[in-house]
Amino acid sequence: MPSCNAQELMICVAARLLEDNAMVVVGTGAPCAAAMLAQMTAAPGLTLMFEAGGVGPRLPRMPISVGDSRTFYQGLMATSMNDVMETCQRGLVDYTFLGGAQIDVYGNLNSTMIGGDYQHPRVRLPGSGGANDLGSLCRRILVLTPHDERRFVERVDFVTTPGYLDGPGAREAAGLPPGTGPYKVVTNLAVLGFDQESKQMCVEALHPGVSLEEVRANTGFELLASAELSETPPPSDEELRLLRTRVDPQGYIIGRG
């Protein structure tokens, strides 16, 4: 296995999940790096969308915000947040990358508060931004996050972005588009998906050198495992070369380890 850190591994694994000619809403940081790497490898026709209105750019460098001028470079459109959200609402967007301080067994995400009292939380977090809209309307939610039991909790303290809520049929009962919801969670330990019947999170692939017991020990709920549990293919030399020399040559993202 080529030498790489956890951040590089997560970005390479996430990039492989994005197929050619799909549409994905990304923010800055690791999700943007994954989308850029996907465009340079197996998904040259991948269309990137940014919340501030950039659609279909060919990013020359890593943008520092969703409104960075680079998010419009050689793009298909320079439009608005309203148009981007309307495109999601029309069911035309395949993927969105999201994250948060907590994620639970049904893929609900919390980026609002930690604690049991909304008015007096232990920690006040930034809130939704566009995460609730994107998680509600895009077809598949992708999550990139470190793996520890403080983040992976039985139930989030606040549902900022709906996953499968409290189980099968709950998204549809809440009025969200059928067939949408959490798809994959990529961490520094594993790739996790969601059981089709119970909608509960399950381990699908372990990263090289990681055991199922280690993943479960870092999860704050009973974690299912796929009957076809596999090992994540490590990043290739070419993926790492592109990531280090073209996607993030300054090491703003991958330098975080």
Contact assessment for residue 31 and residue 49, using Cβ atoms and an 8 Å cutoff = no
C-alpha 109, offset from chain centre: 11
> Per-residue pLDDT tens for 114-135?
999 999 999 999 999 999 999 9
CATH code of the domain covering residue 123 = 3.40.1080.10
Is residue 28 domain-resident?
Answer: yes
Is residue 16 domain-resident?
Answer: yes
The mean of the pLDDT values for the chain is: 96
pTM of the model: 0.96
Q: Is 172 a catalytic residue?
A: no
Residues with Cβ within 8 Å of 225's Cβ and at least 6 positions away in sequence, in order, are: 202, 203, 212
**DSSP class of residue 95?**
E
Query: 115: domain range?
Result: 6-256
Is residue 37 domain-resident?
Answer: yes
Task: Kindly name the residue from 8, 51, 204, 239 that is annotated as catalytic.
Answer: 51
Is residue 1 domain-resident?
Answer: no
256: pLDDT confidence band, cut at 50, 70 and 90?
Answer: confident
Phi-psi region of 64 (alpha: psi -120 to 50; beta: other; left: phi over 0): alpha
Domain count, the chain: 1
> Per-residue pLDDT tens for 53-89?
999 999 988 999 999 999 999 999 999 999 999 999 9
